Amino acid sequence: MKRHHESGVFSWLDGLEESGDALRSFSEVVSTPPFDKLMVSDREIGECPEFIEGQNSNMSYSTYIVLCDNNKYYVGHSQNPDLRFLRHLSKDGAKFTKQNQPKKLLWHQEFDTEIEAIRREKQIKGWTRKKKENLINGTWI
């Protein structure tokens, strides 16, 4: 495990132009600097070597929690949770976030391998809402 981050509004998200309540389309966002150097897939950022189970690389993976507009939580994993959140906003993410509009990336935790991130995602998905909220707030009973 590498680092734990509490996430609020990210500085690069602050600069995005808004039209009403909708963000610009995902394709417009990734075609502007600094995103123009990124590939569309959150798994393919820059030069992406093939994943070998258990092998450490210079890439990290994160497990993250998103708050949706109906106060439901979505838990997922990605190499780039910020970019993945944009994909969820543009309805290019998971089926759950297509049906439950994401509002805010609340929390994420980095890991050295994708396997660790997936294990943490599955663990958190099995938790009660209260336990997830304690994790997000950094409070434990």
94: left (phi over 0), alpha (psi -120 to 50) or beta: beta
* Sequence ranges of the domains in the chain: 4-137
DSSP string, 48-79: -PPP-TT---S--EEEEEEEETTS-EEEEEES
**What is the pTM assigned to this prediction?**
0.62
pLDDT tens, residue by residue, 11-28: 334 444 443 334 444 445
Collapsed DSSP state (helix, strand, coil) of residue 45: coil
Average pLDDT rounded to a whole number, residues 112-130: 97
**Is residue 50 classed exposed, middle or buried when 0-12, 13-18 and 19+ CB atoms within 10 A define those classes?**
exposed
